[in-house]
Amino acid sequence: MPSSASGPRTPVRVGIVGLSANGGWAARAHVPALAALDGYELRALSASSEESARAAGAKFGVPLTFGSAAELARSEEVDLVVVTVKVPHHRELIVPALEAGKPVLSEWPLGTDLAQAEELAALAKTKGVRTAVGLQARSAPPVRYLRDLVAEGYVGRVLSTTVVGSGRGWGPTFRDGGDYLLDRANGATLLSIPFGHTVDALAMVLGEFTDVAATTATLRPQVTHEPSGRTATMTAEDQIAVTGALESGAVAALHFRGGTSRATDFHWEINGTEGDLVVKADSAALWMDRVTLHGARGSDTGLTELPVPASYERLPRFAGRSTETAYNVAYAYAQLLEDLTTGTHLTPDFAHAAARHRLLDRVQESARTGTRLTVTA
């Protein structure tokens, strides 16, 4: 990032790849997050064509618009490139930014598979470029508070953890624009998105997996488009069951199901020698929806809600806005700003993303071979 004699330039001038006038994740999450933070300026965007870029620029008040990500990356008025497009296009749009020596924030998953993630992480290291990946659940105040509760001994020694989650997608139906999620080769699957976001938060709180044993299945190979009624083939898994040991020796069990459940869409439980903690979410998406913490310890006979202390809510403009899509993304941007301006390493980078992809790869390999596999960083 360009710097002055007194240090890195602020505000950090952001260029978003994939911001559309028609809405989407960038419009719902990134734009309001950046608007609420001091230290950033949304300076540029690129879209699939110059016409689309101009339309988005007019809608969101972005002064510089480009018809390609490569043009945006070369602009001297962009300090941080943010890639918010569909996963199959990540590599082709990230590489120009890395080649231009620009810091990059990419949405998760980083690539369609482990090979792409490792390639991008290696290129970033070669270029000496600061990177970040959108695993924003670990930036959320409740998840950071949960990590500290465990570290401070709220449950004593952790014995086990259990997660049950729904995918919302990958169920019996899909909506407009959701076709690409059905094809496992596109890398945007139940495993990489809901499972991947959640297991990253779990690893931050409780430590990494040392081994995994997995069973996966695609039990609905034909799904229906809403509202047209046409059918499509789904090759992505719609059932994922994983057990394993964590670095601490605790046992973990995770089960993710495609679609939604009439019973439990999300439940994360941590059991220890002295107490228990439970994470509940408004929906199945831990990384983008409001979560609440509940606990009991010692002689407690029932769970009580554990409000997040005000010290974890460090963004005044997002006070009381935890139900908004941009909430966790804003906290991730706040951590990235600290990284860019002070040299800290609070935000997960491309090397971290590659390591997370390796865990997902081991899950797939375990399911394919029917064996328990060791997980390496």
pLDDT bucket at 4, cuts 50 / 70 / 90: very low
pLDDT at residue number 282: 81
- DSSP letters spanning 289-351: S-EEEEEEETT--S-EE-PPPGGG---GGGTT-TTSTHHHHHHHHHHHHHHHHH----S--HH
Q: Between 1 and 240, where is the model more confident?
A: 240
> What is the average per-residue pLDDT within 112-127?
98
pLDDT at residue number 284: 83
| pLDDT above 50 (res 114) | yes
pLDDT, tens digit, for every residue of 138-178?
A: 999 999 999 999 999 999 999 999 999 999 999 999 999 89
What distance lies between CA 241 and its chain's CA centroid? 20
Rounded to an integer, what distance in angstroms lies between the CA atom of residue 15 and that of residue 60?
Answer: 13
pLDDT, tens digit, for every residue of 44-83?
A: 999 989 999 999 999 999 999 999 999 999 999 999 999 9
Q: Between 8 and 236, where is the model more confident?
A: 236
pLDDT at residue number 377: 75
> pTM of the full predicted structure?
0.96
Q: Could you give the percent of the chain with pLDDT greater than 70?
A: 98
- DSSP letters spanning 33-81: HHHT-TTEEEEEEE-SSHHHHHHHHHHHT-SEEESSHHHHHH-TT-SEE
What does the block give as tokens for 304? Answer: 């009580």
- How far is the CA of 3 from the CAs of 11, 147, 346, in angstroms? 11, 34, 20
pLDDT, tens digit, for every residue of 219-236?
A: 999 999 998 999 999 999
- DSSP letters spanning 143-199: HHHHHHHHHTTTTSSEEEEEEEEE-SSSSSEE-TT-HHHH-GGGS-STIIIIIHHHH
pLDDT at residue number 1: 47
* CA neighbours closer than 13 Å in the CB half-sphere of residue 252: 24
pLDDT at residue number 283: 84
What does the block give as tokens for 252? Answer: 């973990």
pLDDT, tens digit, for every residue of 285-311?
A: 999 999 999 999 999 989 999 999 999
What does the block give as tokens for 354? Answer: 């590659």
Residue type, 47: A
Answer for the pair 252, 265: CB distance below 8 angstroms, yes or no. no
pLDDT at residue number 63: 97
pLDDT, tens digit, for every residue of 182-230?
A: 999 999 999 999 999 999 999 999 999 999 999 999 999 999 999 899 9
pLDDT bucket at 376, cuts 50 / 70 / 90: confident
Question: What are the chain's domains?
Answer: 3-137 (3.40.50.720), 139-313+349-369 (3.30.360.10)
Furthest CA-CA distance within the chain: 64
pLDDT at residue number 8: 62
